[in-house]
Amino acid sequence: MDFVVEDLSPVRKKVIVSANAAEVDSALNDALRHVGRDFSMPGFRKGKVPSGVLERRFGDEVKSRVAEDFLGVKLEIFLQEKDIVILSRPEYEGGAIARGQDFSCALTFEAMPAFDMPAYTGLKVEEIEAAVSDGEVDDVLERLRGNMAQETPVEEARRPVAGDAVDVDFAGFENNEPLADVKGEHFHVVLGEGQVLPDFEAIIRDLVPGEEREGPVAFPDNYAHSGLAGKTVVMRVKLNSLSTRILPAADDAFAKTMGQESLGKMREAIAESMRGRLRQQAKAQTQQKLMDAVLAQVDFPLPEGMVKLREERILGDARLRLEQQEARVNKDKPVDADAAAGAKIALEATLATMQPEARREAEILVRMHLVLMSVARKENIQASPLEADMQLRSMAMRSGQNFDQLREAYVRSGMMGELLERIRADKAMDFIYDRAEVVTVPALAAPECVSPAGD
């Protein structure tokens, strides 16, 4: 069997495969022997059925086996010898395997580009210290107390202040026309905690229970409701009722209601939990700085198919987030066909503006992935099926899915190989991090620089 490689581009190759009739017949005979080894039929002992009978009975299965074992295995060995890494599903051109006939086909695919490996060990980098102040612990404690607060109605006619809970009705207007999807009744909010837009809270604070007033409310450019983002609308607000909130005392009794032995133990648990999150965030930021330093050393063409697939996933995730945000905003509101059509147009327009940035992000992610996979190959970093199952179990727990069903979906869709590659890339990133010169610095002093050792 002969293999000839054609370089169509730095990231695209064609492998032409050819075999003479004798090689094809030999492979078919080997496959028939394997199929007939455990087969029996009337008039023949087990394993003694003539090859001609077997070929008539199992012709398609035998040819499939030849394509897998004879072609696939030999092609894989050849690609390993030539250090060619396939990055896409091969496009097949050629005829079928037939006894007594020469066989040839061509496989075209995207391949790993060639580049000089950058320096990736011994890099110097500074990592932000995972420090938690008493004040930050106090803030968390206050939020927990706020969640357990008891509300008492205010009888006197006064304006609300920070910390009060209010019940309001509201309606939005644009050009004196009511906005069908900007209204609500008996909306409960605690003032002074950033739960609503500042302009909206300012209107509420200027009311006493029973009063109604209107004023302009400016919506930020990144507001979840795409139809309101960047706009200023008139909001009419009525204050229905006002309540004060009584927070539980910050003492051992409160700590016990939260499952802790004492207030001191509770503060320690809060601080350690916060430090754990900060350590994870700091490590992720440090790894990104290390990766930026590694990528700055290399430049190579990217496989268009990989970039396009990544770009589509980024935009698909963005679409899902925007649709979910829109659904939350419009929850329990009557369906309006015109509003729905307008929201769809706005969504598509938003996604169109995001496309160039999605493309840039996709190129960075693909370049990062290819470098990490090259590190994994050089350092013989592998990923096992057990590690893939562990990650799938974690994904299933977070999403509330059934592990067996999720795993079957990955196997059926051919995504298991991609998952294993992702695990190898993560392990390669940890390899780079573990071999870096990491210096811990206070948060305010941490610069955004990294350089190879000795620079």
For residue 229, the model assigns a pLDDT of 84
Q: Which parts of the chain register pLDDT below 70?
A: 31-70, 226, 329-335, 445-455
For residue 446, the model assigns a pLDDT of 47
Domains of the chain: 2-110 (3.30.70.1050), 149-246 (3.10.50.40), 283-451 (1.10.3120)
For residue 92, the model assigns a pLDDT of 86
For residue 11, the model assigns a pLDDT of 95
For residue 454, the model assigns a pLDDT of 42
The rounded distance, in Å, linking the Cα atoms of 305 and 295 is 20
Per-residue pLDDT of 62-84, as tens digits, reads 666 666 666 778 888 999 999 99
Beta bridge partners of 170: 184, 237
Sign of CA dihedral 278, 280, 286, 292: negative
The rounded distance, in Å, linking the Cα atoms of 165 and 167 is 7
Paired tokens of 158: 């006064």
Confidence (pTM): 0.74
Closest CA to 117 of 298, 382, 370: 298
Per-residue pLDDT of 5-62, as tens digits, reads 999 999 999 999 988 999 888 877 776 666 555 555 555 545 555 555 555 555 566 6
For residue 190, the model assigns a pLDDT of 92
Range 88-96, long-range pairs (CB < 8 A, 24+ positions): 88/303, 88/305, 88/306, 94/17, 96/63
The rounded distance, in Å, linking the Cα atoms of 325 and 432 is 38
For residue 29, the model assigns a pLDDT of 75
For residue 208, the model assigns a pLDDT of 94
Please list, in sequence order, all residues whose beta carbon lies within 8 angstroms of the beta carbon of residue 412, skipping any fewer than 6 positions away.
none
- Total length of the chain: 455
Measure the N-to-C terminal CA separation of the chain; round to a whole number of Å. 51
Q: Residue 402: phi, psi to the nearest 5? A: -80, 130
For residue 443, the model assigns a pLDDT of 80
